[in-house]
Amino acid sequence: MSQGHFITFEGIDGSGKSTQARLLAAVLKARGIDVVLTREPGGAPGAEEIRRLLVEGAPDRWSPETEILLFTAARRDHLEKTIEPALARGATVVCDRFADSTRVYQGATRGDLRDLVDRLHDEVIAREPDLTFVIDMDPAEALRRGLARQSGEDRFEDMGEDFQRRLREGFQALASEYPERCHLIDGARDPNQIAEDLAAVVASKL
């Protein structure tokens, strides 16, 4: 059986990841490709329950260490129940956030915990995407977009613009750390123009 492709979207809150994940999934489906569109934290029933613990409530609800464990638990469930079965049947998985978010949010911005993130990842996840789009944009603009949604899931947005600024730098550094699979994309453009760029990268890389 042919192995499907695993494509992820990363970037700060409100940068347009879910919009672009949706548009890319639609382009691939229109080409007759079997696509599973999913997201983290979540993407499987158990992982969605863990998601609520993570995205709602006060910003200091969890320590960074506890957060790493919860995100990794959710990811393991998502991997077992959704991602691995889809890839095994040859589907292409388009996922809004994956392990890079833990590397940046928990590993680089809330204490020097990257080593713990990496060790846990190697032990219980041990899967990298084939292709990752890192959507780069100004945190002030992204924050305006994100909070305008009023989703009730604003625990990380509520950590403020300085935090989002450190995240942006973290994602830029991550794209340099994994140049083979990561593509840094300018997110401050028309959504359809961004989508065209992404479809061209997918066509040339996969």
* Using rule CB under 6 A, residue 40 touches ligand ADP: no
- Please identify, using beta-carbon distances, which residue of 17 and 168 lies nearer to ligand TYD: 17
Least separation in angstroms between residue 5's CB and ligand ADP is 21
Stretch that binds ligand ADP, among 16-24, 79-87, 103-111, 176-184 (CB under 6 A): 16-24
* Using rule CB under 6 A, residue 13 touches ligand ADP: yes
The DSSP letter of residue 18 is H
Stretch that binds ligand ADP, among 47-55, 74-82, 116-124, 143-151 (CB under 6 A): 143-151
Cβ–Cβ under 8 Å, residues 134 and 98: no
- Please identify, using beta-carbon distances, which residue of 43 and 146 lies nearer to ligand ADP: 146
Give the 3-state secondary structure of 131-154: EEEEEECCHHHHHHHHHHCCCCCC
Stretch that binds ligand ADP, among 57-65, 75-83, 99-107, 142-150 (CB under 6 A): 142-150
Cβ–Cβ under 8 Å, residues 197 and 184: no
191 touches, from ligand ADP, ligand TYD, none (C-beta below 5 to 8 Å by class): ligand ADP
Choose, by CB under 6 A, the member of 6, 62, 133, 156 that binds ligand TYD. Answer: 156
Least separation in angstroms between residue 133's CB and ligand TYD is 13
H or E element, residue 38 = strand 35-39
Q: Count the site residues for ligand TYD by CB under 6 A.
A: 16
Least separation in angstroms between residue 2's CB and ligand TYD is 28
Cβ–Cβ under 8 Å, residues 79 and 127: yes
Looking at the chain, list the stretches that DSSP marks H as alpha helix, in order from N- to C-terminal side: 17-30, 45-55, 64-78, 84-88, 99-105, 114-124, 139-148, 161-177, 191-205
51's tokens = 């998601």
